Amino acid sequence: MSKAEAILKIEPENELRFRGPFKEPVSVVMKLSNNVDKKVCFKVKTTAPKRYCVKPTTGVIGPKEAVTILVTLQPFDPNDPNEKGKHKFQVLSVLAPEGEFNIETLWKETSLEINDWKLKCVLETPDEAGTAAASAAPAVAVTNSALPVAAPVAAPVVKTEEKTSKDASMQKVSNLELELRKASDEITRLREELSSATRENIQLKEEGLRLRRSNVSSGTESAGFKPEQPPLMYRQPGQDSVATVSSPNVLYIVAALLLGIIIAKLFF
């Protein structure tokens, strides 16, 4: 279909140009403009769906409106012979039907003419881009070579130092969080051991009391005497809870010492 008859205007018209290096994702923008006074549905397809991320892939454009498509090329090795295939994109468009419709199944169910436009992908490595720029403007290259080199180098050095300092700070914070988690786990383990020891102590006391009562009862019955009621012993308030009260205090002191040692290791 000719450009004059197209219901959508596509920018760029013929190719999507991606500039390397391709160690990180590289994105380009494609703009779709509605040329008619009706709503238009669109769909973007590619021959390499695993290599490109397209957002959005489908949608509806209002009359005389436009939408921006973000196309992102995923990282890859440009020297890999398997990556030298020619990738292409196809943009489908059709007038939106009246009423409600499903845009996913519209392309198979519609009786209207579906317009399509194809774009090829151009992958430029840094060497190719530099060669093309040098051949296109040699005079500018000569002029730039006469400029002092120290000025543009200073900014990356500052950024590198800031990044190094930031990474060191993040590493310290990460180490501190790890040590705090270890200390918290140790405190939890000590609490569990203290609770277990307390329960065992109570069980032993109860078992000893039962045995003592059993011995006293058996001795008095064999002698024909009625067992006397053991005298009530006065127990000071809080006497049995000394171990359970003092032990957590010792536990908190140990935890504080652990945290102090960890912080000293990180900052000194």
User: What SS3 string covers the chain?
Assistant: CCCCCCCEEEECCCEEEEECCCCCCEEEEEEEEECCCCCEEEEEEECCCCCEEEECCEEEECCCCEEEEEEEECCCCCCCHHHCCCCEEEEEEEECCCCCCCCCCHHHHCCCCCEEEEEEEEEECHHHHHHHHHHHCHHHHHHHHCCCCHHHHHHHHHHHHHHHHHHHHHHHHHHHHHHHHHHHHHHHHHHHHHHHHHHHHHHHHHHHHHHHHHHHHHHHHHHCCCCCCCCCCCCCCCCCCHHHHHHHHHHHHHHHHHHHHHHHHHHC
pLDDT of 42: 95
pLDDT along the chain (268 residues), means of 10: 71 90 91 94 93 93 94 85 78 90 89 90 72 44 39 46 72 78 83 85 88 76 51 48 54 81 73
What is the strand order of the sheet 52-55 is part of? 8-11, 26-34, 66-73, 52-55
pLDDT of 61: 94
pLDDT of 38: 92
pLDDT of 2: 52
pLDDT of 119: 93
pLDDT of 5: 63
**What are the tokens at 147?**
């400029």
pLDDT of 248: 62
pLDDT of 128: 55
Predicted TM-score (pTM) above 0.85 = no
pLDDT of 268: 63
With beta carbons less than 8 A apart as the criterion, state whether 19 and 122 touch: no
